[in-house]
Each structure stands twice: as structure tokens, then as C-alpha cells.
Structure 1
Amino acid sequence: MSRADVTAAAPAAAVPAQHGILTTEAWLRIPSAAAGVFRVRPLPSEATASYVQRLAHTYQLPLPQLLAGAGITLTGHGTPPTAELHLSPAACHHIAALARIPLPHLRRALPHLAPLDDAHDTETGAARWKGLEAGQQPVRACTLCTRHRSQNATDTAWVHRPPHRLVCPRHQQAAPDPRLTSTVHTRAVPELVAAHHAHQRLRRHPRAATAWTAARAITTRWYDHQQHLTHRWHTRLNQLCASNSHLTITSSASPALLTRDLVIYPETIALARALATLPNQPQGTTDDALSLIAYRLGLPRLASNANDPLRAFLTHTRH
């Protein structure tokens, strides 16, 4: 698909013929009903740069060329996941028109689709690259979901994944860390899909958010300090590495660190559910609570000292 094809869907009288190139002035004269020839659907929580890049891939154009053809001036340099693309209000409208997606729908799907902070002229289409800190970077989306929503043009997309979408249950892929440029296939660990479905049920509980935050902090500490569930987690890590050879050859970090959120996910959900549904009992029942949680985690007991994060959490919340 060439740049000339981008204008094919617009009425011939509305687009001046200039060697197949859609200039800024021509774009602004196109009626609002005119759009591109493809309808490229966003992925839930997709990064703006990722979505616009997929749009460019669909038309087989470099990103700067697509933006220029849509009347958007691009400044700076970057690429997902280490940078995000910030758009002016006019640029947001131009992208929505080209993508054939109503702007309110696009805003709901793209959490970072926000106007440029210093864009005072709302009539000017502008885009700017901005670097992201490590904790703000998106992760790789499921390749099969991406290809399905990209007219088979690409399988690469980046999403600001919420915790309850760690695993794609349909295609059994996950990307728990932005440093992973390839997704992790999880079919060898079926309990991850079960944990995904349990997480969706947990979200309906009024204490779900607090319980999830506490549980993830606790299981992460256990994992890093090799406590309680080390053997189970080591086995799961080996299963993931055996079916994902790229984990053992990456130079950015160890597989144990890159897959940590994935390895501890089933127990994090089990602990979060236990914390959310723990009965409110009088002070002095911490040991009873530990026994109940051990049962939920499939452990004979939880022998924890005073510095154990779970005991500290229970003591604090029951005080």
C-alpha cells in the first residue's frame, strides 16, 4: 500500500492531485467523513506511539511519512517502548479520521493519547517524541491479537498493561517486563490462565485493589528473598525457560528477573483473594490468619518471623 492509497477513500474533488502526495493543506480540506481505506483497531491500553506505528505499517509507510501526509509535524526521535508519542488536539483528530475510529473511542483505548502540554494552537497538527522512565514503559502485546488488529501488517505492539491483563488467555502469551522484546509463551504453565480468570473474579470484590497491591508486594519480597514458595517458583521458571529459548539468551537481565511477575502470578492472586476475603476478627488472630492463607496457597504452614511482610501486614491491618 502506497501513500497514494491513503487518499483513495476521499472524494476525488476533495483531494488535489499532486503526484499522489497528500499535503497538509489538502488534508485539512478533506471532509470529515473521508477516511483511510483501512480501519485499524487499537488494542486495549495501547501506547499512542505503538498505535500510530501500526497505522503506518498498515499503509506500508514510515511513521514520519504517514504523519506528514496527515498534516502532522513530527519533532524529536524515538521508538516504543522507550519513548511515547504526544499529539496536539488537531493531530488527535487527524489520526482518528485516518484510522476510522471515533476520537472518544480512541481516547478510551489509548491511555496516553493526550494533547501536548505546550500546544496552544489547537488548529496545528503536531507530534513530539518524549522519552519514558523504565517504570512508565509499555510491554509487548500478544502477537496474535496484534496481527488480528493490524490487517496482518505487523505483530508488534506495545501496551500499558494493567495487572489483570498480564496473560492473554486466548493465545497464552505474556510480556511481564518492558525489556522483553518477544512475548513469553505460557502453554507449558496452564495455571497462569487459571490465575487470569481468578483475577477477573477478584476485581469484583470491593477490597480487590488494596488486596492485590499488598499481595504483589509480599510475593515479590518472598521471591527475591527465596522464601516459602521457592521450589514451586523455581520449577515454574524452568518450565517457562524450556519453552521460551529467548529468555536464556537475552542480555538485558536474568530470566528470573524478567519473568518474576509471571512466575509468582498464581500465588499472588491466591494471596490477594485470601486477603480480600479474610474475615474481620479481633486482634490476636494473626496465627489463625496465617494458617488460613497457608491453606489457600497449598502450603502445610507458613512459618514466618516478625519481619515477614505477610505477618507485618496482618499485624498492622488487625491492630
Structure 2
Amino acid sequence: MRTAAPLLIATVLLAVALAPTAAAGSAEFEDGTAMSGIERVTYMSFIGISLMFIASAFFLFMERADVARRHRPAIGISVMIVGIAGVQYALMQEAFIAEPGALPTDFRYADWLTTVPLMAVTFAVLAGKEAFTDRRLFSLPGMSVPGIIIVGSMFMMISGYLGQLELDQALAQGVEPNPIHWYFFFQGCVGYLTVFMIVGSPFTGAYGIDDTKISDPSIVATMTRLRKVVLIGWLIYPVGYVIGATELGGVEGAASMMLVYNLADLVNKLAFVIIVLIGCRAVEDTVSA
């Protein structure tokens, strides 16, 4: 199989990279403070997820040549999604281990501010310009389907970042957060709904994309699967936020929140890029047949 060699190489590289971490017996922060159980699990998740993303980026890059030319941009975007996330998770791990209660929020949102718009715009890239509708949410220049998707996802992330900063400060001090963080939280939800309305759900039509104008049935099926990721998978992030906002357990609450975020990233990003790859390969296989 064409995927066997790259998959084997990626798996071996991942195993080799994880070996020193798995063998390490230390469970301390850099200042010598011992980690709790949840902190240790969170720390290990940063390392493991970083390496899995980097290995996935390598694998997707190797597979790009075996995809129909018109769908290679979507694979290229997928490489960027997991590649950027892999680097940012390595930086998050370094920030987390520096001292108890350290929150790598800046690195996390640097990841999300880049990868979430890339994930959202993948819908437009897969569908193709001919599938865009003439409907617009705004009359501003550039507010075509890709423009609305990017603006909506950026609005969601910036609002989330402002709310997260308020929440992080409260977690660090072990006090009740300023209620304004909920305003930013719900403001971010507006951005999510904007993206969701444009790309559509697996059960309803899309405001900005007309599936009937997509010529490849496998791409239509791929779009439906990706919409399920956006509908279900992205809802995990608010759960992590609410955990941090309601538990307020100092470093324990912060670690729990970060662990939920990490697992959500792992599930959403890997599921997303795998679905894109399978859908694009299905087009190529259909054409070859």
C-alpha cells in the first residue's frame, strides 16, 4: 500500500521520541515542586499530543502527492493544522512545567487563532468556489464565504482569549473570576454559531455552501462528517472552560481545564485531518477506477 511506508516511519519516529519521556521517573516542576496526579497526566498529554501532531503532519505531507491535484490544497491545510499544533504543544509543555499553576494560555491561543480558521476555511476549499451561495451576512468588502468563515472563527477565538485571561487570573489566585468573563464566553459562542451557520450542520443545509453544486459525492460525504466534528467535537471546549470557571480549584482546577482542552484538541484535529485525507483519497480512487 502507498501509505504503508510513511505510516511506518511516522510510527517509529513517534515511538523513539516518546521513549525518553516514558522512561523518565521525575514528577516535578522545574522549581522542584512535586506534581499532583492530574498535573502529571496533563503534563504527559502535552508531550504525547505534540508528538502525535508532528507525526501526523509528516504522514499527511507524504500522502499529499497521492491525492487528486484539485484537492491537494485541503491536504496542505491539514498539514499546517497539525504541524502548527504540534509545535505549539511543545511550547505549552515547556510553559506548564515551569512552575505549579502555570497556564500556557498565550501558546494555546496562538495555536487556536491559527488552526481554527484553517479548519473552518477547509470547508470552502473542499467545496470549491462553484458551490458558494450568493447569500451574505454582511455587505463589507471581502465578506464572501471564506471571508465570513475566517472573521467568524477569529471573532470566536479573540473573545475566548479575553475571557480565558480573566479566568486564568482567578484560577491563579483561587478567587471568584470577574463575571465579565462570561460575557466574552458567550460572545465567542456567537462567533461559533456564525461559522456553524455558514458551513452548515449534518442535519441542515448551509447558509454559504450549496452541497448540490459539489460534483464529487465523496466530498459531499466528507463535508457531512466534518460538520459532525464541528457540531459535536467543538462543544468539548466550552466544557473545559466551564470546568475551570466552576471548580476554581487553584492548580488542580487549572490542570483539569487544560487536560480537557488537550483531549478536545487531540480528538478534533486528528479526526478532522483524517476525514479530509480519506475524503480526498476517495475522489482519487473513484477517478482511477
Q: TM-score band (shorter)?
A: under 0.3
Higher RCO, 1 or 2 (CA under 8 Å, sep at least 6)? Answer: 2
Between Structure 1 and Structure 2, which shows a larger proportion of strand residues?
1
Of structures 1 and 2, the larger Rg is shown by 1
